[in-house]
Amino acid sequence: MLGADDALLLHDAVGPNNGVPQEVFLAVYAVVAILLTTSMLRDPHRGVAVAFVLGAALLAVSAGFDQMFSGAHLVEDGAKLLGALVWLTLPMLACRPTLEEPTRTSARTAR
């Protein structure tokens, strides 16, 4: 959703040109972020929860700089890139317990 918004300039141009203020987009993103965060923090000790929160914090920094400072493109885009890269690790971190389980079972049966 954030990638489509960034690539297609949804909250910057498309929405405002069609009568949808930027605040509506930001409110929707905030609600989705809160819902995702609450679901991720059900088990806060897993690496996937830590990576999710770190990526979300970096994306929040990017959104904050986008709204507060007009010329801080390096910080805004750098935080966005780092947040996206951290979030790219989420599928592998989420699948890790599933991937490790057969190796533990096979190691126990080999003994």
Q: Hey, where are the domains in the chain? A: 22-98
Cα 99 to Cα 1, 52, 93, 111: the distances in Å are 28, 20, 10, 20
Ordered per-residue pLDDT tens for the chain, 111 residues: 777 777 778 777 888 888 888 888 888 888 988 888 787 777 766 778 888 889 989 988 988 888 788 788 888 889 989 998 998 888 888 776 655 555 555 555 555
Cβ atoms of 84 and 55 within 8 Å: the answer is yes
Cα 26 to Cα 30: distance, rounded to the nearest angstrom: 6
From the list 57, 62, 58, 55, the residue with the least C-alpha distance to 88 is: 55
How far is residue 80 CA from its own chain's centroid?
9
Cβ atoms of 89 and 54 within 8 Å: the answer is no
Average pLDDT over the chain, rounded to an integer: 79
Lookup: tokens for 70: 């007009």
Tens-place pLDDT, residues 45-56 = 677 888 888 998
Beta carbons within 10 angstroms of residue 38's beta carbon = 9
Residue 89 per-residue DSSP state: T
What pTM value is reported for the model? 0.63
